[in-house]
A and B are shown apart, each in its own frame.
Chain A
Amino acid sequence: EPEVTQTPSHQVTQMGQEVILRCVPISNHLYFYWYRQILGQKVEFLVSFYNNEISEKSEIFDDQFSVERPDGSNFTLKIRSTKLEDSAMYFCASRLLVGEQYFGPGTRLTVT
Chain B
Amino acid sequence: QQPVQSPQAVILREGEDAVINCSSSKALYSVHWYRQKHGEAPVFLMILLKGGEQKGHDKISASFNEKKQQSSLYLTASQLSYSGTYFCGTEYSGNTGKLIFGQGTTLQVKP
Output the residue of B41, B49, B102, B103 with the most chain A CB within 10 A: B41
Is residue A84 contacting chain B, with contact meaning CB distance below 8 A?
Answer: no
- The interface stretch among A13-21, A64-72, A74-82, A96-104 is A96-104
> Cα distance A101–B34 when bound, in Å?
10
Give the interface SS of chain B, mostly helix, strand, loop or mixed. Answer: loop
Q: Does B109 count as interface, using CB distance less than 8 angstroms? A: no
Is A55's CB within 8 Å of the partner chain B?
yes
Docked complex Cα distance between A41 and B85 (Å)? 11
> Would you call B12 an interface residue if the criterion is a C-beta within 8 Å of the partner chain's C-beta atoms?
no
* Size class of the contact patch on chain A: 20 to 34
From A46, which residue of chain B is reached at the shortest CB distance?
Answer: B98
The interface size of chain B toward A, counting residues with CB under 8 Å, comes to 23
Contact of A44 with B101 in the complex, beta carbons under 8 Å: yes
State whether the Cβ of A87 lies closer than 8 Å to any Cβ in chain B: no
How distant is the Cα of A56 from the Cα of B42 in the complex, in angstroms? 21
State whether A100 touches B32 (Cβ < 8 A).
yes
Q: Which residues of A contact B96 (CB under 8 A)?
A: 31, 48, 50, 55-56
Main secondary structure of the interface of A (DSSP, over half): strand
Q: Check: B47 CB closer than 8 A to any chain A CB.
A: yes
Pairs A–B under 8 Å by Cβ, sample size 11:
A33-B99, A42-B102, A42-B103, A43-B99, A45-B98, A56-B95, A56-B96, A56-B98, A95-B97, A98-B97, A100-B47
- Apart from the given pairs A50-B96, A106-B40, 20 other A-B contacts in the complex at a CB distance below 8 Å: A31-B97, A35-B99, A42-B2, A42-B102, A43-B87, A43-B89, A43-B101, A45-B98, A48-B97, A48-B98, A98-B97, A99-B47, A99-B49, A100-B32, A100-B44, A100-B47, A101-B32, A103-B34, A103-B41, A103-B43
The residues of B with any CB-CB pair to A shorter than 8 Å are: 2, 32, 34, 40-44, 47, 49, 87, 89, 94-104
Give the interface of A toward B (CB within 8 A): 31, 33, 35, 41-45, 48, 50, 55-56, 58, 91, 95, 98-106
